[in-house]
Amino acid sequence: FCTKDFISLFVPKCQKCGLPIKGETVSALGGKYHKGCFTCVSCDKKFTSKSFYVYDGKPVCRYHFHKMNNTICKACNEPIEGQCIDIPEGRYHPDCFRCCEC
């Protein structure tokens, strides 16, 4: 095989950009990515650790996972993990919820 055909036939393609991967790869979600292409699909930021969230089969950062699932605290705008107060006006961390009547 010539180099071009070898790359086309045998070198894995990046799940995000579709180009052949040469060098460092990230294997996740059943595919391979260039290290620089493995980012949040919403904000395109690189993941700061080896952990990431998955929404609709795609990698997302913590903030956007919670935003897509409507689990952002209405008071502090931070993701809610664990207990929350859920009222018609929005969701809150227990420590962030304050009565606006009194």
Q: Please give the pLDDT value at position 102.
A: 66
| Beta-carbon contacts of residue 66 (< 8 Å; ≥ 6 apart) | 72, 79, 80, 81
Q: Please give the pLDDT value at position 99.
A: 76
What's the whole-model pTM score? 0.78
Q: Please give the pLDDT value at position 81.
A: 93
Distance separating alpha carbons of residues 19 and 83, to the nearest angstrom:
43
Q: Environment class of residue 100 by beta-carbon count within 10 Å: exposed (0-12), middle (13-18) or buried (19+)? A: exposed
**Which runs of consecutive H residues, i.e. helices, occur in 2-58?**
3-10
* 1-38 fold: Cysteine Rich Protein (2.10.110)
Domain boundaries in the chain?
A: 1-38, 39-69, 73-102
